[in-house]
């Protein structure tokens, strides 16, 4: 044993003294033992001062020995990238080389400038921020927010990317047991021995729960903790059991889906780089047994937060499990029996117990007798009214409840117990409603909305024998309900200890006076008088009190503070506790890392990219890509010295003068097959399809029932009963869904099959004067001469020997083709076409040039020039609505009065007065520029480009009554001036439309 | 995550395989072109938002891709039953507010309609 570990008691605890390791805190290197938490190792080295509090910067120590710890939050630093703030020292397992720093202090933990807040505390009561930093509004951005942000929060978030991997697993079982203390282990054993498949998890490194400190417990003839370890080993060896330690059940969701997070590497000094740091288990359990135990409450009295003041059960855990005495002269303040056992254990270990102050007037029973027999002074009917000491408690001031003279008792640690709060978090998350048990002053589980049951302390059991009985019954019942009844488990357990009784709320005037600080919530620095203030200011509901004071809101989620806060509010409101209500227990039970929740969905797997079969060719050509949905589409192909503008200008000119090719593979494609295929399309699209001849194409518009444009595309009739339908790139899934919906649910009698063929066909658009000459070199079995293959026709044939579906169509206004080939051959066909096209002076063009070319012709893009409130008429596409059809989707919606109203926003072209000015897409349009603000807006710009082919800017816009305003001037107010533009027809190139037939 | 029984696949599958698709049992009028504004309003715009049993369409989009209907209790978020599209709206009444809490989840996913076992 190292001399430095002055509080380590030889012969106590379960750690191996032969396995020392080094760790550091605030740069100071110390020794601990394998199995220590940072908290136990610090106390072993006589360090209680661990951090500064959030608001008042008060010195704080270690309150608990488990996850409920609100105070001892530290920054753990493994390396540059691996640093984690707000780690509870009571759960951080140390390893050789472990390093942590204290938080929320400057320049040092001992001398912290921020502690001035403590003196100023009368001026910063609860709700201070809400009330103070309201005006002037401008001060928020520059003054209030930066300063509040600097002061807020405790630790520092890591700056570098998270280097660790995180895993995710799904699991199914008959019975999931949450918690591996006496209750959980007994329940798991009973279920497993009956033959059920069992998962059992515990958040701590080792099993046993309260058996770690409850030394008088005996189960099955063994000491409680020995039994727990042996039972865990027995369970782990069974084929039908999975035992997970360091695994927290943090979320209880619908239909018995419980999420666990398993910490795999955090406690290890070294590990393989490919080992996941944490693993999330998504467990679907037929039945769930909640064995979450209970959490001890602190006492609410003035100055109850000095380092060295802690829960009695924590002190007992440090002694009996870690072999560490929390002090040498210890005081106790309790309202129940359980704290007596801490005093007794410490006394037997050679620690002086200055006095036990008992809130009860006449405590009696074996625990009290044992304490007195050991010579410990018991002061009944009294309370601690204050404490002394700056960086560590040095005394307690004791006074009888009835008042009178107070007595100062020197101590170097003060243990407290106000009673035990059943941990109903998981039950509550399962949507169960807790029930107030007035007699014992506790919330307990009520009816179960899911197939679950609580056993042990979380179900209100106050003794070990009761716990074991509940657990065995639950384990056996749930196994039987799952059809397993191999064997019954019998266990006898008992202990001299009881966990009943206690108090809630503030004691002995702790909620009185301006400067009295009796802390309810240590993590948020909420005092008893803050809660009274909240009530005085009109907060009636506990949910309001919580938000006004922030009681129970930090990372500990009020595990120690909720019941006290509630009791104080209830008293102030003069109501019963259940009438004030209990705040909701939300997921997660304890903080979960983002890494664990994200799992594999990061980097390349965060948002998968879709590549066309021709992608490699675009990369080779040096294309810049743009994201369109999940697709990576070639945006433009810059050549040496070209910026985007120059590249696009060259591409659009080349297409019109020579020819260009474009990867259109991302288009949605649906094959519509069956005797009723034409009838079906007739109903889905506004256009008539029944008379479309095989071998012909038709541009189609799809509306919703409300009569607004939903999608558009070109439909090829391959045969009487077979159509090849194209959709927009982004609309492919929703169009398929809408078609399936109507086919399955409205017209199930139609004999039609729909098949998505989007990924089966690569599509190359070959456009421009030389397109036909290039294509003719490579196709066979099809006559593509102008006479044989007119505009808007469809043929099948072969290209380079592979099957081809050839669309004679244009989205540029030039004569062109869209060549569909099986995806696997897309790249080869592209390369062959590209070689021949470029030999003639053509080029590849990207999506930006495609946009400019189609805008020069006034072709719309659904979703850019339409926005879900645009009818075919509005878009100038009224000709595409079949006037003679009896029915189609949208037929009735279009007839609504507002959709037929004159003066609706209509799609028009715009030419700026200054041809060099390119309007901003989305810019608002007004009729006259000299209106008072807010001006009356009559529309907006939908598409706007520099058109190299026109030698000027062009734009499209939706303008109210636009069709009647041809030639009129409108105005576009922008931050740096008003832009004038003229309304024109939205066709800027080849208004007669002759070029497509070339 | 809910488990949803697909009446076509005959299996309970996780919610991520499904998409909710709005209220069920709203038939598209046969004489669509001729209905009145009020009828169109009722068909297209008006929807129920009950506290209690709601009937809604789901699609097993990452499975058989079929649309089907479900009765769900909006208070407990429990799906009480699922059934094939086209079958009539089942008569489900929750006599007490607590009934939904006691429905056995082991049964909740299964259709109760005759002839649906095929």
Going by pLDDT thresholds of 50, 70 and 90, the confidence category of residue B115 is very low
Q: How many CB atoms lie within 10 A of CB A358?
A: 24
Helices (H), ranges, A750-907: 771-776, 826-839, 847-857, 897-900
Tell me the pairing of strands A198-201 and A166-178. Answer: parallel
Q: ipTM of this predicted complex?
A: 0.85
**Nearest Cα residue to A330 out of A357, A310, A353, A358:** A353
Distance separating alpha carbons of residues B79 and B60, to the nearest angstrom: 15
Concatenating the DSSP letter of every residue in A715-734 gives EEEEETTEEEEEE-TTTHHH
State whether B28 and A746 contact (CB < 8 Å). yes
- Could you say which DSSP state residue A538 is in? T
User: Which residue in B32, B76, B101 is closest to A891 by CB distance?
Assistant: B32
Q: Taking CB atoms and an 8 Å cutoff, what residues of chain A touch B101?
A: 447, 449
Secondary structure of residue A12 in the 3-state scheme: coil
Residues of chain B numbered 57-86 and touching chain A (CB < 8 Å): 57, 59, 61, 65-67, 76-78, 85-86
Q: Which of A171, A174, A251, A255 to mutate to test the interface with B (most CBs of B within 10 A)?
A: A255
**Nearest Cα residue to A269 out of A53, A99, A45:** A99
Q: pTM for the complete prediction? A: 0.88
Residue numbers of chain A with a pLDDT score lower than 50? 1-2
- How is domain A900-997 classified at the architecture level of CATH? Beta Barrel (2.40)
- Could you say which DSSP state residue A610 is in? B
Find all residues with CB under 8 Å of A206, minimum gap 6, and list them: A212, A229, A245
**Nearest Cα residue to B1 out of A254, A596, A450:** A254
Q: How many CB atoms lie within 10 A of CB A992?
A: 6
Concatenating the DSSP letter of every residue in A239-259 gives TTEEEESSEEEEEEEGGGEEE
Peptide bond into A363 cis (omega under 30): no
Flag whether residue B40 sits within 8 Å of chain A, measured between CB atoms: yes
Flag whether residue A626 sits within 8 Å of chain B, measured between CB atoms: no
**Nearest Cα residue to A499 out of A454, A530, A471, A467:** A467
- Residue B80 and residue B89 in contact, taking contact as beta carbons nearer than 8 Å: no
Concatenating the DSSP letter of every residue in A293-355 gives -EEEEPPB-TTTTSTTEEEHHHHHHHHHTT-B-S-SEEEEEESSSHHHHHHHHHHHTT-EEEE
Flag whether residue B32 sits within 8 Å of chain A, measured between CB atoms: yes
Helices (H), ranges, A492-587: 528-536, 542-549, 562-573, 577-580
Question: What's residue A151's pLDDT?
Answer: 62
Distance separating alpha carbons of residues A198 and A190, to the nearest angstrom: 10
Distance separating alpha carbons of residues A953 and A956, to the nearest angstrom: 11
- Residue A189 and residue A234 in contact, taking contact as beta carbons nearer than 8 Å: yes
Chain A residue closest in CA terms to B69: A745
Question: What's residue B98's pLDDT?
Answer: 43
Find all residues with CB under 8 Å of A157, minimum gap 6, and list them: A85
State whether A745 and B2 contact (CB < 8 Å). no
Handedness of CA A955, A958, A963, A967 (dihedral sign): negative
Q: Which of B5, B8, B67, B79 to mutate to test the interface with A (most CBs of A within 10 A)?
A: B67
Phi, psi of B34 (to 5 degrees): -105, 0
**Nearest Cα residue to A491 out of A228, A223, A194, A186:** A186
pLDDT beyond 90 at B117 = no
Q: Cα dist. A977→A382, A930, A932, B26 in Å?
A: 79, 12, 15, 52
Please identify, in words, the CATH class of the domain defined by A667-757: alpha beta
Flag whether residue A737 sits within 8 Å of chain B, measured between CB atoms: yes
Chain B residue closest in CA terms to A259: B1
Q: Please give, rounded to a whole number of angstroms, the shortest distance from the CA of B100 to a CA of chain A.
A: 9
Chain B residue closest in CA terms to A744: B67
Question: What's residue A258's pLDDT?
Answer: 98
State whether B37 and A896 contact (CB < 8 Å). yes
Question: What's residue A117's pLDDT?
Answer: 78
State whether A255 and B105 contact (CB < 8 Å). yes
Flag whether residue A284 sits within 8 Å of chain B, measured between CB atoms: yes
**Nearest Cα residue to A55 out of A134, A6, A127:** A127
Phi, psi of A955 (to 5 degrees): -155, 160
Question: What's residue B113's pLDDT?
Answer: 35
Distance separating alpha carbons of residues A411 and A393, to the nearest angstrom: 7
Find all residues with CB under 8 Å of A786, minimum gap 6, and list them: A772, A997, A998
Return the structure tokens found at A530: 């803050």
State whether A253 and B1 contact (CB < 8 Å). yes
Phi, psi of B57 (to 5 degrees): -90, 140
Return the structure tokens found at A250: 């943090």
Distance separating alpha carbons of residues A908 and A964, to the nearest angstrom: 10
Handedness of CA A603, A155, A564, A184 (dihedral sign): positive
State whether A745 and B67 contact (CB < 8 Å). yes
Given the structure tokens 């599958």, which residue do they identify?
Answer: B13
Q: Please give, rounded to a whole number of angstroms, the shortest distance from the CA of B62 to a CA of chain A.
A: 12
Question: What's residue B106's pLDDT?
Answer: 35
A262 bridge partner residues: A247, A279
Concatenating the DSSP letter of every residue in A673-719 gives ESTTHHHHHHHHBSS--TTPPTTBEEEEEEE-TTS-EEEEEEEEEEE
Q: Over chain A, what is the mean pLDDT?
A: 94
Q: Cα dist. B5→A90, A92, A169, A741, B64 in Å?
A: 44, 43, 22, 19, 12
Within its chain, how far is the Cα of A64 from the centroid?
Answer: 29
Q: How many CB atoms lie within 10 A of CB A4?
A: 13
State whether B57 and A284 contact (CB < 8 Å). no
Topology of the domain comprising B3-93: Folate-binding fold (3.30.2270)
Distance separating alpha carbons of residues A466 and A17, to the nearest angstrom: 36
Was domain A20-118 assigned CATH 1.10.3720.10?
Answer: no
Distance separating alpha carbons of residues A711 and A890, to the nearest angstrom: 12
Spans of all domains in chain A: 20-118, 166-294+422-494, 667-757, 900-997
Return the structure tokens found at A260: 């666990």
Was domain A166-294+422-494 assigned CATH 3.50.50.60?
Answer: yes
Question: What's residue B108's pLDDT?
Answer: 34
Q: Please give, rounded to a whole number of angstroms, the shortest distance from the CA of B3 to a CA of chain A.
A: 7
Predicted confidence (pLDDT) per residue in A380-415, tens digit:
999 999 999 999 999 999 999 999 999 999 999 999
Distance separating alpha carbons of residues A57 and A52, to the nearest angstrom: 5
């Amino acid at each position: 044993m190292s001399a430095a570990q002055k509080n380590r008691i030889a012969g106590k605890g379960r750690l191996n003294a032969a396995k020392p390791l080094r760790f550091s805190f605030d740069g100071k290197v110390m020794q601990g033992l394998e199995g220590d938490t940072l908290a136990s190792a610090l106390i072993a080295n006589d360090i209680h001062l661990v951090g500064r509090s959030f608001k008042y910067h008060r010195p704080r120590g270690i309150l608990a020995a488990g996850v409920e710890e609100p105070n001892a939050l530290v920054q753990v630093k493994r390396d540059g990238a691996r640093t984690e703030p707000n780690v509870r020292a009571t759960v951080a397992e140390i390893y050789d080389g472990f390093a942590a720093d204290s938080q929320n202090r400057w320049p040092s933990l001992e001398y912290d400038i921020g502690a001035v807040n403590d003196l100023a505390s009368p001026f910063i009561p609860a709700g201070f921020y809400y009330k103070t930093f309201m005006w002037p509004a401008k001060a928020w951005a520059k003054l209030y927010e930066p300063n509040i942000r600097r002061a807020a929060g405790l630790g520092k978030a890591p700056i570098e990317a998270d280097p660790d991997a995180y895993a995710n697993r799904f699991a199914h079982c008959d019975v999931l047991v949450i918690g591996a203390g006496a209750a959980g282990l007994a329940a798991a054993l009973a279920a497993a021995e009956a033959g059920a498949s069992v998962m059992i998890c515990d958040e701590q490194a080792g099993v046993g729960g309260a058996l770690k400190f409850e030394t008088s417990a005996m189960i099955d003839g063994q000491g409680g903790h020995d039994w727990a370890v042996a039972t865990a080993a027995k369970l782990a060896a069974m084929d039908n059991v999975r035992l997970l330690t360091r695994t927290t059940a943090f979320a209880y969701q619908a239909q018995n889906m419980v999420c666990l997070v398993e910490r795999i590497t955090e406690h290890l000094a070294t590990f393989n780089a490919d080992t996941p740091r944490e693993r999330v288990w998504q467990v679907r359990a037929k039945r769930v047994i909640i064995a979450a135990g209970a959490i001890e409450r602190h006492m609410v009295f003035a100055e109850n937060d000095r380092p060295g003041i802690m829960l009695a059960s924590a002190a007992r855990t440090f002694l009996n499990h870690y072999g560490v005495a929390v002090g040498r002269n210890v005081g106790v303040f309790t309202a129940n029996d359980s704290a007596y056992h801490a005093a007794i254990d410490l006394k037997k270990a050679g620690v002086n117990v200055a006095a036990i102050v008992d809130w009860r007037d006449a405590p009696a029973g074996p625990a009290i007798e044992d304490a007195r027999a050991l010579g410990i002074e018991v002061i009944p009917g009294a309370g601690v009214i204050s404490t002394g000491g700056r960086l560590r408690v040095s005394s307690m001031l004791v006074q009888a409840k009835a008042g009178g003279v107070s007595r100062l008792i020197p101590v170097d640690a003060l243990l407290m117990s106000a009673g035990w709060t059943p941990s109903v978090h998981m039950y509550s998350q399962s949507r169960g409603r807790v029930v107030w048990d007035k007699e014992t002053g506790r919330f307990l589980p009520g009816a179960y909305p899911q197939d679950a049951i609580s056993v042990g302390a979380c179900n209100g059991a106050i003794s070990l024998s009761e716990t074991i009985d509940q657990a065995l019954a639950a384990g056996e019942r749930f196994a039987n309900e799952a059809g397993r009844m191999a064997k019954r488990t019998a266990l006898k357990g008992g202990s001299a200890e009881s966990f009943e009784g206690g108090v809630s709320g503030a004691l002995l005037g702790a909620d009185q006076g301006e400067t009295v600080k009796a802390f309810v919530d240590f993590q948020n620095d909420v005092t008893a008088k803050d809660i009274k203030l909240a009530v005085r200011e009109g907060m009636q509901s506990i949910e309001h009190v919580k938000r006004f004071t922030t009681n129970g809101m930090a990372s500990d989620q009020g595990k120690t503070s909720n019941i006290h806060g509630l009791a104080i509010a209830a008293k102030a409101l003069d109501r019963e506790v259940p009438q004030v209500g209990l705040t909701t227990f939300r997921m997660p039970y304890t903080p979960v890392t983002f890494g664990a929740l994200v799992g594999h969905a990061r980097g390349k797997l965060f948002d998968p990219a879709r590549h066309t079969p021709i992608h490699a060719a675009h990369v080779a050509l040096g294309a810049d890509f743009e994201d369109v949905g999940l697709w990576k589409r070639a945006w433009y192909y810059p050549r040496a010295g070209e910026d985007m503008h120059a590249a696009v200008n060259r591409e659009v000119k080349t297409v019109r003068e020579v020819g260009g090719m474009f990867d259109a593979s991302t288009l949605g494609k649906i094959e519509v097959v069956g005797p009723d295929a034409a009838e079906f399309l007739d109903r889905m699209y506004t256009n008539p399809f029944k008379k479309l001849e095989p071998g012909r194409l038709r541009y189609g518009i799809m509306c919703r029932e409300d009569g607004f444009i939903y999608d558009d595309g070109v439909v090829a009739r391959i045969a009487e009963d077979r159509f090849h339908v194209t959709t927009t790139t982004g609309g492919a899934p929703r169009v398929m869904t809408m078609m399936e919906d109507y086919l399955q649910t409205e017209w199930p009698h139609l004999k039609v099959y729909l098949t998505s063929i989007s990924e089966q066909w690569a599509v190359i658009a070959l456009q421009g004067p030389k397109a036909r000459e290039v294509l003719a070199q490579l196709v066979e079995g099809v006559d593509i001469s102008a006479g044989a293959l007119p505009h808007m026709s469809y043929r099948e044939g072969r290209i380079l020997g592979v099957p081809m579906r050839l669309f004679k169509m244009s989205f540029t206004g030039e004569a062109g083709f869209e060549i569909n080939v099986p995806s696997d051959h897309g790249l080869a066909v592209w390369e062959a076409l590209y070689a021949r096209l470029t030999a003639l002076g053509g080029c590849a063009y990207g999506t930006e040039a495609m946009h400019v070319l189609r805008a020069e012709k006034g072709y719309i893009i659904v979703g850019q020039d339409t926005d879900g409130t645009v009818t075919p008429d509005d878009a100038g596409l009224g000709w595409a609505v079949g006037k003679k059809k009896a029915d189609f989707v949208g037929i009735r919606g279009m007839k609504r009065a507002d959709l037929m109203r004159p003066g609706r926003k209509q799609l028009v072209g715009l030419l700026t007065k200054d041809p060099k000015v390119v309007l901003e897409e989305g810019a608002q349009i007004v009729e006259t520029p000299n209106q008072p603000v807010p001006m009356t807006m009559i529309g907006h710009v939908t598409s706007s480009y520099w058109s190299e082919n026109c030698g000027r800017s062009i734009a499209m816009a939706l303008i109210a009554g636009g069709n009647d305003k041809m030639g009129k001037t409108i105005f576009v107010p922008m931050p740096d001036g008003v832009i004038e533009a003229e309304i024109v027809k939205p066709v800027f190139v080849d208004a007669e439309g002759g070029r497509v037939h070339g | 995550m809910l488990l949803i029984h697909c009446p076509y696949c005959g299996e309970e599958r996780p919610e991520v395989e499904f998409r909710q698709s709005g209220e069920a049992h709203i038939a598209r009028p046969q004489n669509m072109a001729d209905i009145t504004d009020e009828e169109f309003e009722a068909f297209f715009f008006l929807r129920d938002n009950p506290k209690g049993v709601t009937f809604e369409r789901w699609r097993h989009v990452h499975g058989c891709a079929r649309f089907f209907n479900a009765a769900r209790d909006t208070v407990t978020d429990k799906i009480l039953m699922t059934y094939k599209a086209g079958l009539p709206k089942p008569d489900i009444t929750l006599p007490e507010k607590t009934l939904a809490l006691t429905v056995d989840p082991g049964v909740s996913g299964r259709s109760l309609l005759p002839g649906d076992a095929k």
